[in-house]
Chains A and B, each alone.
Chain A
Amino acid sequence: MDFVRDNLPYILAGISVGGQYALIAIGYTMVYGILRLINFAHGDMFMIAGLMGVYAVTWMPLYLAIPFVIIFTVILGFAIERVAYKPLRSAPRMSVMISAIGVSYLLQNLALYITGGLTKTYPSIPWISNTVKVFGATTKVVTLITPVLTIALVVALVLLINHTKMGMAMRAVSRDFETARLMGIKIDSVISLTFIIGSFLAAVGSILYFSNYTGVMPTAGAMPGLKAFVAAVFGGIGSIPGAVIGAFIIGICENIIKGVGWTTFSDAFTFALLIVILIVKPTGLFGEKNIDKV
């Protein structure tokens, strides 16, 4: 029992942070699946969602603030795609990626300007910020609900992709951009929907993440974003279940490594994993095979 009580906090932390990475990673992997674009601004969208959460509770009651944050982030994600990526649809892929990096810096510096560089404390949300005891280990409720919520959202998303018309359109676009367009699929609305779903999940992720780790600063999105990206690559970029499993593995491993005393190397592990995956299995755990088209 002592063993469980001593080690449970690491596992709990790992599962919860893994769930939060998963919610961000889906945004990376879906956009990549459709546009073959790594949306570097995604981590910063996550940060902006957190910052919005800080400000929203000062403007309105909490039950309005949470939907507001989600809607705001969705609109922001949609707007970024329309303004920064859509005009470059026919440009080389590298141009879009540079545009994404530009958006990332724009968001960070905007946050720096608004906050004046100071860390903002995320408001505590009743119930999910409360502490509970699980088998003798004390933690926040949010730690427990994160994996449940993450899995529920992922199941819903997979159902949406596999069993709706819009999902079918998304799958078609991810297979072949040009042919899908010839078949009468409205590419732009499919892409917009992808960004909307990605932003929605990032907003939910930000509420869970910042409820647990309450400091929001302009660079707060960089590290979770990077790790979610690693998770997406690990799971096979383009694959949603892959991203989720990758995120959980990274979250849990990271905390176990801290638990056994190698705290110094916890980040190094994540990035070493990226390198190993790229060398050994470049398509990741569930990645699609790269077929050369003639």
Chain B
Amino acid sequence: MKKLALLLVFVLAVATFSVGCGSKDKAAATAGEGGVIKIGVYEPASGDNGAGGKQETLGIQYANSICPTVEINGVTYDVQLELVDNESSTDKGPTAAKNLVGKGVSVVLGSYGSGVSIAASDIFAEAGIPAIGVTCTNPQVTEGNTHYFRICFLDPFQGTVLANFATDVFAAKTAYCLSKLGDDYSVGLCNYFQKAFEGLGGKVVYETFPDGNSDFTSYVANAIKANADVFFAPVSTEAAALIIDQANAQGMDMPILAGDTWDSNVITGAAKGKNVEIYVTTFYQEGGNPEFDSGVKAWIEADSTNLANNGGNTDLAAVTAMGYDAYFTALEALKAAGSPAPADVMAALPGVSYKGVCGMITFNETGDANRDIAYVKKCNTETGAWEFVAEQGVK
């Protein structure tokens, strides 16, 4: 039922917003004489990363509402989003991916979370469908294949940036790292952080927690006992909320650092009114493109389902901006390919360049975007909002 309702929303969105895509499309847009091009959205809507996945999907949906058609070689096609829920789970992801393949999509966007992207990679490869990772930052996503691309920075970069930030700003000597067992994203990011931090002369205490754990008391106690200067926990937002709560309960006074996953209103909501210090690196800083900010906020506010998917308010997550850029990158690829066939899109993708709200997107030889800067934000626990701290690069 829910899927049907969502589909209905898209059909309506396509119908109502079809004028927004430049005047030359006006006549053609309503007809869409070329037929329909399907873009797969492979994102989690439930599970550990459900909140983030939904926000990323919102960006894609907003982009689709602004530009629901694409002109390829003078023929206008309607763009239809096909949504599947990979449930943040590496064993359910492949089934969702097969579902997309069965629907005959030209290109896939997603996923939030590197683990599920890696899990579905082979399915897309076999079907010859190119995929554009939006915010999956683990290097393995694009490594050793030709079909997976991505528009965000990578964990080796992000981990190094955070390690630099910890030593630059807090003069940290000891860092406590916490990751989830078997989670490619947090384990990977912790490893890169550890490497960089030890390279800068620091010491790392590294621990992991098992799936389904919600008791973080002992982990926070361990960090305090280790006399750490920073607490690095690039875990899912669900676990993050529990860690923040526990850190507050035990009066942990060291700053908590995390990666892009934490740039979410789940975190600001959990930290509001609590005595914690949280810093994250992220892709997009609100205010970077005021026109986009106000547009997407108005769009989210206009629909109660969208509002609920964004966590009940219009706070903008970086992943939403990234989702928006990913959609337009896909459209650019379709235009460059000259046909909706997945193989043509795949061939065209390496040459695509697009100026998105999160910066310029060009791909290198492994299919990763060329990015060299990350934004650092701090959570203001009084207002429950993110505050811009600095742009941080790697030394």
Interface segment out of the listed B113-121, B129-137, B147-155, B206-214: B206-214
Contact of B221 among A17, A121, A213, A259 (CB under 8 A): A259
In the assembled complex, which residues on chain B have CB atoms less than 8 Å from the CB atom of A259?
218, 221-222
Contact of B250 among A138, A214, A218, A268 (CB under 8 A): A138
Interface segment out of the listed B44-52, B287-295, B323-331, B383-391: B44-52
Q: Is the CB of B238 within 8 A of A217?
A: yes
**A99 at the B interface (CB under 8 A):** no
Q: Is the CB of A112 within 8 A of B207?
A: no
| CB 8 Å contact bits of B305-316 with A (1 = contact, 0 = none) | 000110100000
Interface segment out of the listed B10-18, B34-42, B241-249: B241-249
In whole angstroms, what is the CA distance A137 to B44 when docked?
39
Q: Is the CB of A118 within 8 A of B50?
A: yes
Q: Is the CB of B214 within 8 A of A215?
A: yes
Contact of B218 among A140, A255, A268 (CB under 8 A): A255
**B215 at the A interface (CB under 8 A):** yes
Within 8 A of B (CB), among A145-194: none
Closest chain A CB from B283 CB (angstroms): 22
**A236 at the B interface (CB under 8 A):** no
In whole angstroms, what is the CA distance A131 to B246 when docked?
10
Contact of B215 among A17, A117, A218, A219 (CB under 8 A): A17
**B219 at the A interface (CB under 8 A):** yes
Main secondary structure of the interface of B (DSSP, over half): helix
Chain A residue nearest to B49 (CB atoms) is A117
A-B contact count (CB 8 A): 111
Q: A6-B225, A214-B245 are in contact. Are A116 and B207 (CB under 8 A)?
A: no
**B270 at the A interface (CB under 8 A):** yes
**A263 at the B interface (CB under 8 A):** yes
In whole angstroms, what is the CA distance A259 to B216 when docked?
11
Q: Is the CB of B250 within 8 A of A263?
A: no
Q: Is the CB of A263 within 8 A of B242?
A: no
In whole angstroms, what is the CA distance A162 to B208 when docked?
45
Within 8 A of A (CB), among B249-273: 249-251, 266, 269-270
Q: Can you give 12 A-B contacts (C-beta < 8 A)?
A: A10-B218, A10-B221, A116-B45, A117-B50, A118-B46, A138-B249, A218-B46, A223-B213, A259-B221, A267-B210, A267-B213, A268-B210
Interface residues of B (CB under 8 A from A): 44-47, 50-51, 54, 85, 87, 181, 207-210, 212-222, 224-225, 237-239, 241-242, 245-246, 248-251, 266, 269-270, 308-309, 311
